[in-house]
Amino acid sequence: MDVVATTVFVAIFAFITLLGFVSAHWRKGDMSQLHEWGLGGRRFGTWVTWFLIGGDLYTAYTFVAVPALVFGAGALGFFAVPYTVLVYPLVFAILPRLWMVARQHNYVSASDFVAGRYNNRALALAIALTGIVATMPYIALQLVGIQVVVGGLGFPTGGLAGDLPLIIAFVILAAFTYTSGLRAPASIAIVKDLLVYVTVIALIVVVPIKMGGFGSIFAAIPPEKLLLPPVKDGNTGQISIYTSLAFGSALALMLYPHATTAVLSAKGPNTLRRNWVFLPAYSLMLGLIAMLGYFAYAAHIDQLPELAPYFARYKAQFAMPGLLLHFFPSWFVGLGFAAVAIGALVPAAIMSIAAANLFTRNIYKAYVNPDCSTEQETNVAKLFSLIVKFGALMFILFLPLTYAIQLQLLGGILILQTLPAIVCGIYTRWFDAKALLLGLSIGLTWGIWAASLTGFQTSGYPLHVGGLTIPAYIGLYALILNFAVSIVANLAIRVLGMANREDATAAGDYVG
């Protein structure tokens, strides 16, 4: 065990634990109200929202998986950069409108909005269940970052001794989330992002200096890892996968329940608009994080004797931690590993709160206890957030890690199918809920089927059109089918006179 690195790691972890509990007294509100516990009272300003959304979307799995993908697959791993650039213009005009109508009607989730907009509990239930299913493996994957850095510190990697640090981390997470709600990850996100920026900038500056400069690094990368293969023989190959994965991921990113939760916690629509201007700074950081995969490849980091055991266990996921261990002193390793671990706790907390909001409003209150008090509603949300975290912990302790990765891959495909109901509903009431529910069902079914053809190993489906083979993101193909079915069904419902035009919202709700 690296005593110095472990000491720094534990000290920083202890500080953010204290900060998580103290956060309950920050901008105090009535924590028996769901919007206070689950949305921080909708009072977060520009900078807090910036850190919260950034900490929510750029997770520990991002810091571990993106360099790992570039390390293993090369240029394809950079798809994450353009998709985060695309997402901000897409949401600039959408999410402020959602915030306004949600504030007007005390909605705490996108499913609440769907229930009010279409006067249909079944559609809201389907959106809520899709969100919860997509979120659960995402929470489990945050544990990957903690597992990797705990192993890198020298802790045992098997049995109870190996799992104990993970269990302790999630007990702490469960405790401060239960007491402080969204205020805890909002305050911790500030510390987390500062640590991440320091760590990544140090890696980008120090590693090239020690390896002879960027020229030496890129000279050591094979050409096939620097470029996507060209189109040939009527098969667009990785080029269409790259573009469709970037675009589809951009459409899906803000539909995740934890992203919606962070957005609805903002103080106002202008706070969000300012954030869409500033958030691309994270995209710049993401490009630098992706480049670490090339650094690790050029350094042959997986072949170094002292790091080979870690790569045997964690594979390419140890690329970024391996750079820290090889090129930096122990105290900085502790700081960098703490950044990854805290980067797991922040989004995991927000995800569990988001899932709890969905369950409480759209399952418990809608179907189990419609007359529950606001205090009962909040208590149920707190309890369900614990159940979600416990389920994610059991998932990662007792099932192979590949299952979590495969399910999270499937989760992205599933969450994208909620776009017609949510995004179209923000702008128009043309669709009927029955048509949207049918389109959602078809999109989900086809997406799961297409993913199953690959054994849930990849996110691409090869579409054959004439003499062309166009592999593209399964989620995007499923969304196109979803839209097509919804439009045709909606036209049929209108012709048959079966449309339900009831709407709990009014036009003025969307413009403040």
pLDDT single digits (tens) 127-140: 999 999 988 888 87
Beta bridge partners of 469: 235, 464
Number of helical H runs and strand E runs in the chain: 25, 2
CATH class of the 3-402 domain in this structure: mainly alpha
Task: Please give the backbone phi and psi of residue 45, each rounded to the nearest 5 degrees, phi first.
Answer: -85, -170
Which pTM does this prediction carry?
0.91
Residue ranges of alpha helices (H) inside 279-424 are: 280-298, 308-314, 319-327, 330-359, 374-398, 401-416, 419
**For residue range 33-67, what is the model confidence (pLDDT) as tens digits?**
888 898 888 888 888 888 888 877 788 777 888 89
Report yes or no: 182 and 38 within 8 Å, Cβ to Cβ.
yes
Tell me the average confidence (pLDDT) per consecutive run of 10 residues in the chain, 512 residues long. Answer: 89 89 77 86 87 81 84 87 84 88 93 94 95 86 80 75 77 86 88 90 95 93 87 80 89 90 91 85 89 94 88 85 93 92 86 93 92 91 90 76 68 93 93 96 95 86 86 94 97 92 90 76
Report yes or no: 20 and 176 within 8 Å, Cβ to Cβ.
yes
Helix (H, G, I), strand (E, B) or coil at 196: helix
Question: What are the structure tokens assigned to 17, written together?
Answer: 């634990």
Cα(114)–Cα(120) distance, rounded to whole angstroms?
8
User: CA 67 from chain center: how many Å?
Assistant: 17
**For residue range 279-311, what is the model confidence (pLDDT) as tens digits?**
888 888 889 999 999 999 999 999 989 888 888
Q: Provide CB contacts within 8 A for 209, sequence distance 6+.
A: none
Helix (H, G, I), strand (E, B) or coil at 159: helix
Q: Pairing between strand 468-473 and 460-465?
A: antiparallel
The ranges assigned to domains in the chain are 3-402
Report yes or no: 386 and 178 within 8 Å, Cβ to Cβ.
yes
Task: Please give the backbone phi and psi of residue 107, each rounded to the nearest 5 degrees, phi first.
Answer: -80, 140
Query: How high is the pLDDT of residue 402?
Result: 62
Helix (H, G, I), strand (E, B) or coil at 188: helix
Residue ranges of alpha helices (H) inside 399-432 are: 401-416, 419, 425-427
Cα(339)–Cα(203) distance, rounded to whole angstroms?
13
Q: Which helix (H) or strand (E) holds 460?
A: strand 460-465
**For residue range 257-283, what is the model confidence (pLDDT) as tens digits?**
999 999 999 998 888 888 888 888 888
**One-letter identity of residue 288:** L
